[in-house]
Amino acid sequence: MQLQDRERKRLERRSGGRRPLRIAYLSTYPPRECGLATFCADLTTATMAGDGAAEPLGIAMESGPRRCEYRWPVVLIVEEEQERQYEAAADFLNESAVDVACVQHEFGIFGGPEGRGLHRFLDRLARPAVITLHTVIPEPEGRVRAHVRDLARYADRLVVMNALAIDTLCRDYGIERAKIALIHHGAMAPSCEARDDAKARLGLCGRRVLSTFGLVGRGKGLQYALAALPEIRRRHPDVCYVIAGQTHPAVKRVEKESYREELAALVADLGVEDSVRFVNRYLSKSEIFNCLAATDVYITPYLNPEQVTSGTLAYAVAAGRAVVSTPYAYARFLLEEAGGLLVDFRSKRGIAAAVTKILDDPDLQGRLEQRSRMYGRQMLWPAVGAQYLSLFQQVLEERSVPIDARDHLQPQLSLSLDLGGKHRYGTQRDREAAVARPLATAD
């Protein structure tokens, strides 16, 4: 209790003496291995570290029979297909001292494509809601359009990471511009390590390093980047293309490792085995950091023209790397100002020409890296966290609910559930251990 009181006073000092905002995050969470989980964990950390420091509470989405072992700030688990658990989670927040709920939205996570469970959560929620849209589909079919319009109706604000997504929401969904906020995808600060030193640590001394990282699936278009290697090697025989990341779990459930096996067979057919390195595992942040530090050119050969965000591209730009990318929506938005070259979809010749152009010209590579580094400053997590904090405060003020008026409610954000699914509040003595039992019996 003394430790928690000291933490609360520290947050109050950094908030100018006001009680810090209490934010509930509904999302997937680490150790679940997906980009949404990583994003939400980083956002939670960034908003805690800001001047208006927020005290977080996590609600983790689960699917399938496997259960993750969560740590603080997760105190509640919702199974994706159990709609009554969404209502129980909303009831918990309504009875708590939480000020704002922040939902990380991706299709297929909240009870099917229509997001029925999420709708039940939002319909029952009596707190302001900020929903970050990680995918915005242009010219949507009817169910998708209705789902997103419902989210806009429930939400105090929708957040997108790409200005092009604002146009799509207004044009194709009929959502008011005032309902939408643009906040960049967050990214780690760039490494201060010299590139040659980073290459040495990875066993890539003397190589020109190309890289792509992230969960692997057919939509990444990696075969086109691999097919470009013979042409690149004619001018730069020292090139090495690092493809780092495990196969996406959803892809693996359907087709096992067939795509990765096809990529390996292509490498053999092309005779470029000594120019490719596969790292088949989910990368830690330090591994991503090291990979980008060693990179000369970062490649995103993605195939979906409408992809509105990419955490890996955000990381590469913030790391100050020259980029070669296909012109999907997020790349068009980001590389208009940041340092990169766009090439046609499914074009091995385009990729080869762009990569060779950069590697041939150290001055061009330096200029592209400088542009990325300068633009990427606004994408670093401290800046992004501050923008989210400002938005949380704004939507709370728009509701005209003084946050101190809820201090009598659940002063310590902790929860356990008895087998009947009823709430039982108490002091959170050890945040690392404050993980609620799943809401499996809440219905």
Q: How far apart are CA 280 and CA 213, in angstroms?
A: 10
Same domain? 106 vs 216: no
Same domain? 11 vs 135: yes
Q: How far apart are CA 64 and CA 79, in angstroms?
A: 8
Last residue within a domain, chosen from 354, 377, 400 = 377
Residue-range definition of the domain harbouring residue 147: 2-186+380-441
**What is the residue whose two structure tokens read 């310590």?**
412
Last residue within a domain, chosen from 360, 377, 394 = 377
CATH number of the CATH domain containing 277: 3.40.50.2000
Same domain? 96 vs 244: no
Last residue within a domain, chosen from 377, 399, 422 = 377
Same domain? 145 vs 60: yes
Q: How far apart are CA 321 and CA 383, in angstroms?
A: 20
Same domain? 141 vs 272: no
Same domain? 88 vs 146: yes
Same domain? 22 vs 7: yes
Identify whether the C-beta of residue 54 lies closer than 8 Å to the C-beta of residue 130: no
**Number of Cβ within a 10 Å radius of residue 235:** 12
Same domain? 179 vs 199: no
Same domain? 356 vs 402: no
User: What is the number of structural domains in the chain?
Assistant: 2
Same domain? 366 vs 249: yes
What b-and-e string marks burial along 109-144, b requiring 16 or more CB atoms within 10 Å of the CB? bbbeeebebbbbbbeebebbbbbbbbbbbbebeeeb
Q: How far apart are CA 138 and CA 65, in angstroms?
A: 34
Same domain? 340 vs 387: no
> pLDDT digit of tens for each residue in the chain (443 aa)?
333 444 445 555 555 556 789 999 999 998 887 888 999 999 999 999 877 677 899 999 988 766 788 888 999 999 988 889 999 999 999 999 999 999 999 988 887 667 788 999 999 999 999 999 999 999 998 999 999 999 999 999 999 999 999 999 999 999 999 999 999 999 988 888 899 999 999 999 999 999 999 889 999 999 999 999 999 999 999 999 999 988 877 777 788 888 999 999 999 999 999 999 999 888 888 888 899 999 999 999 999 999 999 999 999 999 999 999 999 999 999 999 888 999 999 999 999 999 999 999 999 999 999 999 999 999 999 999 999 999 999 999 998 655 444 444 443 333 333 323 333 223 333 333 333 334 332 34
Radius of gyration of the chain from its Cα atoms, rounded to whole angstroms: 23
Same domain? 310 vs 405: no
